[in-house]
């Protein structure tokens, strides 16, 4: 079953002059077809301005398609009566950790979503506890968010979304403002959710190494989906990725360069371990 | 360091006053102030002082912390005292040139000073023993009846708590912007007051811009988490009255009732008046 499905999604930013006449139309999304199945880990890659964040906002009914359709859990996001159902099905984590934490105490922030949904008090506490456990932040439940590191704040944000019991989680560049250790923390938490809780995850990023373990990857450029497939398929095509100004993960890049120099390595090596094994085979 | 600043300066400790429901404390402050301004004789003030110190003792907040709040109102205090002292008509006690101090003025000035001091100490005891969060919750619940008049109490409370949450973030941001401008050669120290105020413009403009950007982001994040106004929300930590709160109300009402009655009772007022006439005027 498709949790998220877009059908020829088009979105245009229209700039208007003072009289309201359109002066400039930017097509941010151009006939995008992306579908995500239950339990999948999908990565969406793209350089700045590729339309990936605009795409994310469509899944949560923050933006509406100019043309085409977006279905979340079989609900049309254009349907106003389903607006809140769409938003609770597709939980959203944004880029800036400071601008999405509402509560003054970690546990209160995680409880914010369920409070909005009208969940009874006792159940809110249960949900808060299980969500904080899922991202390994239970020890910080009484702390002020201001005293946490960036990675910890993002994990709190993820817990806040989890507590709403969504069908899928969309993470819009959750690591863009974090330091390397914070990034690792957050990515580990996201992978844990997918592996352990079988949560459907859509990770939007421009760091390729974060989606090495994804089930499928979509690469976007200038509002279009230009490549799609498994990580191995995508990363095999190093020249195409370089052309899209995307950084290929280190091991993949080295393997590709070695292959160009004549070493008989297979395409699409993703991790260091793989690379080492393949090189040893060559001897 | 700058991120440790909290508004309302909450004093962290364990006490009955800390655990009391914020609604009791808020209503208590209001009634205390009303009582203070209705006293007509010294017995009322005496009762007020005794009550306040009993509450301070219960709250386990050092008196030093509470008197700190008085520093801010020294000037207002001085002005009220002087105006009362010199401008109350009555029997002259001392005359300095054209200015005269009357016995009535003396009494009025003293009364006003005690009132203001007790008022400030009384309200700071509330902010010192209640977390800002708890205070907002108390206001939301306590003013809930205003919903009948279409006042969006829940939304206002939400705004207050968000404002509180963003104070440290914006302080940090101010700090960062100031450093950035200093690095570009800005000068915040020299010059007179006007010049100093002007030099803050390059700090305030980026600060405002970023605050608006944050507000936009936050609104989006809140909507994404299904926030749709105060109605239909449940509470993770609902305020529930406990036994001690009923007890608190009981003490509060009996104190206010008795002290207002005694503080305005003509028999007692007459007694103090006769003391005044017999011993001071003669």
Helix (H) or strand (E) segment spanning residue A50: none
Q: B125 and B11: one domain?
A: yes
Q: B201 and B113: one domain?
A: no
Is residue A261 predicted with pLDDT exceeding 50?
yes
Contact B222 A102 (CB under 8 A): yes
Between CA A50 and CA A204 the distance in angstroms is 11
- Give A108's contacts in chain B (Cβ within 8 Å): 133, 236-237
Q: B89 and B67: one domain?
A: yes
Chain B interface includes A171 (CB < 8 A): no
Q: B191 and B81: one domain?
A: no
Confidence category of residue A218, pLDDT binned at 50, 70, 90:
very high
Chain A interface includes B240 (CB < 8 A): no
Between CA A146 and CA A139 the distance in angstroms is 15
DSSP-derived letter for residue A95 is S
Comparing C-alpha atoms, which of B230, B163, B21 is closest to residue A115?
B230
Q: B109 and B71: one domain?
A: yes
Q: B10 and B112: one domain?
A: yes
pLDDT digits (tens, 9 = 90+) for A128-158: 999 999 999 999 988 888 889 999 999 999 9
Least confident of A193-202, A218-227, B59-68: B59-68
What ipTM does this complex have?
Answer: 0.85
Look up tokens 């969406």; give the residue.
A44
Between CA A166 and CA A153 the distance in angstroms is 20
Pairing of strands A67-72, A41-46: unpaired
Residue A66 within any structural domain of the chain: yes
**Which residues of chain B register pLDDT less than 50?**
1-7
Q: B128 and B16: one domain?
A: yes
Domain total of chain B: 2
Is residue A246 predicted with pLDDT exceeding 70?
yes
CATH of the domain at A183: 3.40.50.300
Residue A240 within any structural domain of the chain: no
Confidence category of residue A238, pLDDT binned at 50, 70, 90:
confident
CA of B56, closest CA in chain A: separation in Å? 27
Confidence category of residue A249, pLDDT binned at 50, 70, 90:
confident
Comparing C-alpha atoms, which of B261, B244, B231 is closest to residue B23?
B244
Residue B143 within any structural domain of the chain: no
Contact B218 A124 (CB under 8 A): no
Comparing C-alpha atoms, which of A171, A176, A151, A170 is closest to residue A47?
A176
Contact A146 B168 (CB under 8 A): yes
Given this model, what pLDDT does residue B8 score? 54
Is residue A283 predicted with pLDDT exceeding 80?
no
Here the tokens at position B209 are 């811009």
Residue B199's domain spans which residues? 153-229
Chain B interface includes A116 (CB < 8 A): yes
Q: B16 and B104: one domain?
A: yes
Domain total of chain A: 1
Comparing C-alpha atoms, which of A3, A85, A95 is closest to residue A42?
A3
CA angle in degrees (0–180, nearest 5) for B238-B240-B246: 160
Task: Using CA coordinates, name the residue in chain A closest to B227.
Answer: A116
Given this model, what pLDDT does residue A144 score? 84
- Give B218's contacts in chain A (Cβ within 8 Å): 99-100, 102
Residue A235 within any structural domain of the chain: no
């Amino acid at each position: 079953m498709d949790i998220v499905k877009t059908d020829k999604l088009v979105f245009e930013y229209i700039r208007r002059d003072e009289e309201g006449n359109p002066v400039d139309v930017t097509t941010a999304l151009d006939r995008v077809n992306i579908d995500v199945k239950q339990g999948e880990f999908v990565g969406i890659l793209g350089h700045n301005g590729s339309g990936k964040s605009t795409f994310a906002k469509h899944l949560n009914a923050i933006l509406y398609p100019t043309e085409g359709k977006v279905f979340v859990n079989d609900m049309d996001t254009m349907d106003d009566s389903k607006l809140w159902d769409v938003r609770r099905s597709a939980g959203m984590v944004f880029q800036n950790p400071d601008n999405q934490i509402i509560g003054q105490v970690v546990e209160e922030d995680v409880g914010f979503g369920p409070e909005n949904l009208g969940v009874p008090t006792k159940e809110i506490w249960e949900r808060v506890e299980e969500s904080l456990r899922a991202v390994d932040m239970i020890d910080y439940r009484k702390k002020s968010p201001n005293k946490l590191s960036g990675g910890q704040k993002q994990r709190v944000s993820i817990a806040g979304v989890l507590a709403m019991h969504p069908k899928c989680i969309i993470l819009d560049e959750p690591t863009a403002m974090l330091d390397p250790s914070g990034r690792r923390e957050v990515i580990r938490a996201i992978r844990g959710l997918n592996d352990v809780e079988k949560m459907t995850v859509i990770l939007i990023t421009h760091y390729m190494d974060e989606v090495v373990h994804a089930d499928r990857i979509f690469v976007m450029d200038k509002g279009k989906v230009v490549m799609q497939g498994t990580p191995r398929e995508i990363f095999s095509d190093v020249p195409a990725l370089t052309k899209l100004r995307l950084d290929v993960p280190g091991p993949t890049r080295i393997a590709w360069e070695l292959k160009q120099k004549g070493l008989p390595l297979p395409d699409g090596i993703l991790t260091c371990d793989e690379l080492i094994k393949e090189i040893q085979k060559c001897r | 360091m700058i991120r440790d600043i909290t508004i309302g300066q909450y004093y962290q400790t364990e006490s009955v006053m800390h655990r009391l429901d914020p609604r009791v404390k808020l209503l208590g402050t209001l009634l205390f102030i009303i009582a203070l301004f209705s006293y007509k004789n010294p017995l009322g003030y005496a009762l007020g002082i005794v009550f306040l110190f009993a509450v301070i003792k219960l709250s386990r907040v050092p008196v030093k912390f509470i008197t700190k709040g008085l520093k801010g109102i020294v000037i207002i205090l001085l002005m009220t005292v002087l105006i009362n002292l010199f401008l109350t008509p009555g029997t002259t006690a001392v005359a300095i040139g054209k200015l005269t101090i009357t016995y009535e003025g003396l009494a009025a000035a003293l009364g006003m000073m005690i009132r203001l001091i007790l008022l400030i100490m009384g309200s700071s005891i509330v902010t010192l023993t209640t977390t800002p969060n708890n205070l907002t919750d108390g206001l939301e619940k306590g003013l809930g009846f205003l919903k009948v008049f279409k006042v969006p109490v829940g939304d206002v409370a939400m705004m207050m708590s968000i404002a509180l949450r963003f104070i440290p973030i914006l302080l940090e941001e101010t700090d960062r912007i100031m450093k950035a401008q200093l690095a570009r050669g800005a000068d915040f120290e020299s010059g007179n007051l006007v010049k100093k105020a002007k030099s803050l413009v390059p700090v305030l403009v980026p600060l405002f811009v970023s605050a608006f950007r944050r507000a936009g982001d936050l609104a989006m994040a809140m909507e994404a988490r299904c926030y749709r106004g105060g109605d239909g929300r449940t509470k993770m930590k609902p305020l529930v009255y406990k036994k001690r709160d009923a007890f608190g109300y009981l003490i509060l009402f009996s104190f206010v009732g008795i002290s207002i009655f005694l503080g305005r009772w003509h028999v007692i007022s007459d007694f103090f008046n006769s003391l005044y006439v017999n011993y001071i005027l003669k």
